Amino acid sequence: MDEFEIVVPTLLGLESLTSREIKRLGYENVKVEDGRVTFTGDMEAVYRANTWIRTGERVLIKVGEFTAVTFEELFEGAKSLDWSRWIGKNDAFPVKGYSLKSKLASVRDCQAIIKKAVAQNLSDKYGIEWLPEDGINYQIQFSLMKDKVTLMIDTTGEGLHKRGYRQISNVAPLKETLAAALVEISFWKFEYPLCDPFCGSGTIPIEAAMIKKNIAPGRNRSFAADLFSQMDKKIVERVKDEAFSLERDIPLEIYAYDIDKDNVSLSASNAEKAGVGKYIKVDCADAREIKFNMPYGTIICNPPYGERISDVKECEKLYRDIGKSFQALDRWSYYILTSNEHFEDYFGRKANKKRKLYNGMIKCDYYQYFGERPPKKQQK
């Protein structure tokens, strides 16, 4: 099959990381927009992107794009696209999407009109009046942004953050894609320790171990594209084999601490499911009292933000306390994600750098404190 445009939606602030991942896979014509990255590829590119991308949300095939300010324009635009290239006469094609800053604001109406337009297109193409939709599922995704309509087909199914190792999570889990991004942004070197003193369900330590060992995040799961008629089974086998063959056998020293015993048990269980249990030391500990005798290392964490006023006050005190305890690790680097805009004041130190990110719908800052550059260790 010829090449086509592929769209990878991202959390706001992660676009450059996802772009870098796509380029690492060897693909070109990579373009970055707000909340998504696009590139050109074929069905193998679709499967490799699904298997390897850590910071993107899903992989979509772009069917077409046009401007629409009326429902008639939306219908005609959707109807004019080449849907039969992807969807067979028996296949299902549910529609979902969103509308932002557009005249066509009703998502439900847009959904119904696009569905009707695609059905009419396929009926005309196949010469049948009724489409049974009892075949392969091709989920149509639409985005309507500033009156520009983009119509796509989802190849992922469950979002890319569903790695498969976290069936159960704690109350406020950090999304796996964001956790991977926090590690990628940091300057942690695997030769030195990494610690998450607020590990929760273990997502940051697990993603860190998977990154350093080059474990493809999607190697143990299936995708919607597995069932596509356009997807050759040989491609799936080739990509899966490649993913397993590229895993690195390197030493890692990762610590996952939490004050809650249930979280500690959960982190240990999730790490085992992810295949990185032996690389992560999980224990019950208070972040305000952690100590290391190693001169160099990195802390990456997502401490509590506090939703109620009383919780906010407790969090502010916590930030003060960890600011004092982290001072003992004077050569270490710290990377801390929080929504508290005055975090630096409580922590007692200005960050060397900070980056705006979104944890779900919560606007956060990723405060980066750079420690002394450690000497490079000689590897055997």
pLDDT at 198 over 90: yes
pLDDT at 376 over 90: no
Mean pLDDT across 342-366: 95
pLDDT at 172 over 80: no
Q: Which residues are registered as beta bridge partners of 336?
A: 301, 367
Q: Where are the domains of the chain?
A: 4-154, 176-215+222-369
Mean pLDDT across 72-94: 98
Mean pLDDT across 330-343: 95
Calculate the alpha carbon distances from 378 to 191, 375 in Å.
9, 9
Mean pLDDT across 320-337: 95
pLDDT given at position 1:
58
- How many residues does this entry show for the chain? 380
- Residue 203 carries which DSSP code? H
- What are the tokens at 103? 């005249």
Mean pLDDT across 108-127: 98
pLDDT given at position 375:
78
SS3 3: coil
pLDDT given at position 380:
43
pLDDT given at position 361:
86
Which segment of 76-90, 148-162, 299-313, 339-353 scores lowest on mean pLDDT?
299-313
pLDDT given at position 33:
93
- Residue 279 carries which DSSP code? G
| CA 129/CA 120 separation, integer angstroms | 8
Give the CA angle between residues 163, 167, 168 to the nearest 5°.
130
Q: What is the tens place of the pLDDT at every residue in 279-318?
A: 999 999 999 999 999 999 999 999 998 765 558 889 999 9
pLDDT given at position 236:
97
| CA 279/CA 250 separation, integer angstroms | 10
Using the structure block, give the residue that is written with the tokens 């009046």: 129
Confidence of residue 374 (pLDDT cuts 50, 70, 90): confident
pLDDT, averaged across the chain: 94
- 147, 153, 155, 156: CA torsion to nearest 10: 40
| Closest by CA position to 21, among listed 181, 170, 161 | 181
Helix-then-strand count for the chain, H and E = 10, 14
SS3 75: helix
Are 18 and 56 within 8 A, CB to CB? yes
E-strand ranges in 45-136 read: 60-67, 95-100
Are 106 and 71 within 8 A, CB to CB? no
SS3 346: helix
Which class does domain 176-215+222-369 fall in?
A: alpha beta
**What is the residue-wise DSSP string for 104-128?**
---HHHHHHHHHHHHHHHHHHHHT-
Using the structure block, give the residue that is written with the tokens 């050759």: 232
The CATH topology of domain 4-154 is VC0802-like (3.30.2130)
- Residue 374 carries which DSSP code? P
pLDDT given at position 331:
94
Are 19 and 6 within 8 A, CB to CB? no
Residues 6 or more apart whose Cβ sits within 8 Å of residue 234: none
Number of CB atoms found within 10 A of residue 246's CB: 13
- Residue 38 carries which DSSP code? E
Residues 6 or more apart whose Cβ sits within 8 Å of residue 185: 17, 335, 355, 366, 368
What percent of the chain has a predicted confidence (pLDDT) above 90? 90
Residues 6 or more apart whose Cβ sits within 8 Å of residue 156: 50, 58, 59, 60, 223, 224, 225
| CA 139/CA 336 separation, integer angstroms | 37
Mean pLDDT across 245-249: 94
Confidence of residue 2 (pLDDT cuts 50, 70, 90): confident
CA 101 from chain center: how many Å?
25
